Structure 1
Amino acid sequence: MNTTEQAQQGKAEAQLPVTGFEIDATTAMVITDPQNDFLSENGVAWAAVGESVVENNTIENLKTLFMLGAKKNIHIFVSPHYYYEHDHKWKFEGALEKLMHAITMFDRGDQLNTKGFEGSGADWLPEYKEYISNKDNVTVVGPHKVFGPETNDLVLQLRKQKIDKVILAGMSGNLCVESHMRELLETGFEVAVVGDATASAKLPNLNGDQAAQTNFMMMASHVYTTAKLKELLNS
């Protein structure tokens, strides 16, 4: 076998196996950060994520997931991102934590104060409000504080509903979505991701969307497009 043949064989062997993902009564959707600061053109992160949001059609695709959840009676868990006044007193931060605090991303007064919340960057994108307000179908869990669900009650709420499988989407792909994926996998959930119902920052020499989509493919049981998931659920 010559060098070229060996290289071709190596590439063939490196292809990822198909694991599959069966949607059943133990399946829920988890949507991270469907909030104005990420998804509104007036949001403080739009300059970084807007290009990816538009390319992936993320706003409409997330709306489709909310609609499918309501239509097919699939429980949706929303994991939001909020920063309260006391969070701004942290003694150290990572690069993006520091940036988010500096631009007042997801800011609220405190846990018990909703003054100024309506229409703020921390509020839901208006297109999603009617779906998130449906308490029979949607559970809003406590806020995560960095990227993953280790600091909120998402895993507890999923377990209490006897959920074993999660279809994951939301913002932003290479940060909160990927961090949720990793933690859910580590805690024993079967996870699929809707790749085009996410988006990520694109900065000079940094393509968050490319990084996220690569890791979704390598780690999740399946990566859907919104159109394919809609077709599957409506079949």
Structure 2
Amino acid sequence: MVETYDFRRTAVLLVDPYNDFLSEGGKVWPLVEQVAQDVGLLDNLRAVVASARQSGMRVMFVPHRRWTPDDYVTWTHPNPTQRNIMVRHTFARGTWGGEFHPDFQPQPGEVVAHEHWAQSGFANTDLDVQLRQHDITHVILIGLLANTCVESTGRFAMELGYHVTLVRDATAAFRPEMMQAAHELNGPTYAHAILTTRELVAAFEAVQPAAL
């Protein structure tokens, strides 16, 4: 089945495009580097974002909470990732690592959702209201990590009634097994489509640009 997307009703959700994840010297880059290079992550992210914008689709940024010194310290149940953030100071506010990668900067008019504290881009943020206020019915998930924030955001989107597309090579994880779980085992239980970047860009190219 060939997926089709209406540029007026579709948004690409770019999850956690921070330097700490995507740039040489980032705190988490060494953990994702091998998988990212194997799938061509950065080039594929660039291709999806550029093609979406050219087609007139919305690109929305779905950022993780940027760490500050008091975060999680008094929490009763910080999760394992949050405990790691307390040690690594991942995505620290006011630092280079907590800035978006230079190739993935919001353009004028693009939505940057409120920062999510854990894994879902919807929990305790304005992402759902932003999507609904922009009349979005289809969401395409790209970014990091495949088996945590991307998966959790995609599952939540499905529960809220959105059509969900995963892009298997526009994401990465710490290990190949995590990628396999995200796309071969878990993805088919909630996603409506699981495509490659090449397949997605081809679908975008079939969309009439908004300017026309």
TM-score, normalised via structure 2 length: 0.88
Q: Indicate the residue corresponding to 1:54 in structure 2.
A: 37
SS at match of 1:28: strand
* In 2, Cα distance between equivalents of 1:38 and 1:94: 19
Contact 1:164 1:189 in 2 (8 A): yes
* In 2, Cα distance between equivalents of 1:21 and 1:167: 12
* In 2, Cα distance between equivalents of 1:69 and 1:140: 16
Residue 14 of structure 2 corresponds to residue 38 of structure 1: no
**What amino acid maps onto 2:69 in structure 1?**
E
Contact 1:21 1:192 in 2 (8 A): no
Residue 79 of structure 2 corresponds to residue 94 of structure 1: yes
Contact 2:10 2:57 in 1 (8 A): yes
Residue 152 of structure 2 corresponds to residue 179 of structure 1: yes
**What amino acid maps onto 1:122 in structure 2?**
G
1:223 to partner: Cα distance: 0.8
Q: CA RMSD in A?
A: 1.7
Task: State the Cα deviation string for residues 138-157 of structure 1 (Å, max 9, x = none).
Answer: 21111011000212111110
Q: Which has more radius of gyration?
A: 1
SS at match of 1:128: coil
Report 1 or 2 for greater relative contact order, CA contacts < 8 Å, sequence distance ≥ 6. Answer: 2
Contact 2:72 2:78 in 1 (8 A): no
* In 1, Cα distance between equivalents of 2:98 and 2:72: 15
SS at match of 1:76: strand
Q: Equivalences for 1:26-175 in 2 at 5 Å?
A: 26-81=9-64, 82-91=66-75, 92-108=77-93, 116-117=94-95, 120-129=96-105, 132=106, 134-136=107-109, 138-148=110-120, 149-175=122-148
Contact 1:21 1:221 in 2 (8 A): no
**What amino acid maps onto 1:83 in structure 2?**
W
Structure 2 gaps, min length 5: 207-212
TM-score, normalised via structure 1 length: 0.80
Structure 1 gaps, min length 5: 1-17, 109-115
Q: Quick check: which one's helix share is greater?
A: 1
